[in-house]
Amino acid sequence: MIRVLAIAVAITSVVIAATFIARAASLASPQRPADAKVLLVPAGAPIPLLEESYGDSDMTPYAVAPPGGVIVQPGTVRVPQPKAPAGPRKVGIQVGHWKLDEVPDELTRLVVQTGTTWNGVKEVDVNLDVAQRVGALLKAKGVAVDIFGAAVPAGYVADAFIALHADGDGTGENSGFKMAHNARRGPFEDRLLQTVREEYAKSTKMDYDGLHVTRSMLGYFVYNWSRYQHAVSPYTPGTILEMGYLSNDDDRAILVDHSDAVAAGIANGLLRFLNETPRDQIFGKELVVPQLPLRSPNPSAP
């Protein structure tokens, strides 16, 4: 029954999207795809999804086209390349939990968490301090830097993007840093994660805590382009870094008293990534993803 419903929903979505596009096309442009199986979905409109089963998930399959729209062909969703940045290499840094009052409506229900606090140290203050230090180090190397709070511009395009957070486990037992990237994005996110992970470990001497990477990290809203317009472009290589546990005495000492080493690790990782990944590689090939909903995790904000 659920399966039948899902198919019905999918078909309805296709019809709605097709109607919408036909109307938009007739108003805006005389060009229609010659192949009837090709569907142009404008920004913000629902992407028709194929789905066989949702298992035990109660998540409604749902995706919308990001800024720039998408092209749906049987089985695949093509995301047209955005305009690549011009000028110096460009990096975006998100300060986790900062400027929560500026988030757009689509994120207000999601971004309610104000971050962790331990022994009087507030996560957002640590995130901001490190972000500013990373920004200064990158700028000194000629990189253009944008620092954002919880809200990022819709479809933000850069050569790399990193979201900074710090953790708390409520006990002080866990220690180490964690990283993740979302699914259905460009092919350079593993490399970005690995280079930052290596340089961060080298500079901070912290261990990597791969055991506690959360669903919220894997589905982080800033990278969830098929759900939110205010996400970075799927072409912008992005990762989330939980820099350590404020609830752990050793981690907290590093994050607060040695934030220069923390920032140097992040900046070195980003710079290495930029050196190893030319801009024309990042924006040179069209991104094609399966026409299926993301199975991973409900979008969330760690």
Find out whether 123 and 166 touch, Cβ atoms under 8 Å. Answer: yes
Q: How far is the CB of 171 from Zn ion (least distance, A)?
A: 17
What gap in Å lies between CA 89 and CA 267, rounded to an integer?
A: 13
Compare residues 90 and 133 and give the one whose CB is closer to Zn ion: 133
Stretch that binds Zn ion, among 43-51, 113-121, 137-145, 153-161 (CB under 5 A): 113-121
Position 178 contacts Zn ion (CB under 5 A)? no
Stretch that binds Zn ion, among 26-34, 107-115, 181-189, 197-205 (CB under 5 A): 107-115
DSSP state letter for 281: H
Q: How far is the CB of 193 from Zn ion (least distance, A)?
A: 18
Position 165 contacts Zn ion (CB under 5 A)? yes
Q: How far is the CB of 164 from Zn ion (least distance, A)?
A: 8
Q: How far is the CB of 68 from Zn ion (least distance, A)?
A: 29
Per DSSP (E only), the strands in the chain are: 39-41, 70-73, 76-79, 90-95, 117-118, 121-122, 144-148, 160-167, 178-180, 238-245, 287-290
Compare residues 176 and 302 and give the one whose CB is closer to Zn ion: 302
Q: How far is the CB of 97 from Zn ion (least distance, A)?
A: 5
Q: Of 115, 135, 186, 234, which lies in the binding site for Zn ion, with binding defined by CB under 5 A? A: 115
182: closest CA among 197, 207, 161, 201?
Answer: 161
Position 244 contacts Zn ion (CB under 5 A)? no
Q: Of 68, 96, 176, 265, which lies in the binding site for Zn ion, with binding defined by CB under 5 A? A: 96
Which segments of the chain does DSSP mark as H helices, in order? 2-28, 105-108, 123-140, 189-204, 215-218, 249-257, 259-276, 279-282
143: closest CA among 123, 161, 127, 165?
Answer: 161
- How many Cα atoms sit within 13 Å of 171 on the Cβ side? 4
Q: How far is the CB of 163 from Zn ion (least distance, A)?
A: 9
Alpha-carbon Rg for the chain, nearest whole angstrom, is 20
Q: What is the DSSP string of 257-269?
A: H-HHHHHHHHHHH
Amino acid letter, 95: V
Stretch that binds Zn ion, among 15-23, 50-58, 136-144, 159-167 (CB under 5 A): 159-167
Amino acid letter, 270: L
Stretch that binds Zn ion, among 160-168, 218-226, 229-237, 267-275 (CB under 5 A): 160-168
Q: How far is the CB of 124 from Zn ion (least distance, A)?
A: 8
What gap in Å lies between CA 262 and CA 256, rounded to an integer?
A: 9
Compare residues 10 and 243 and give the one whose CB is closer to Zn ion: 243
Binding site for Zn ion (CB under 5 A): 96, 115, 165, 302
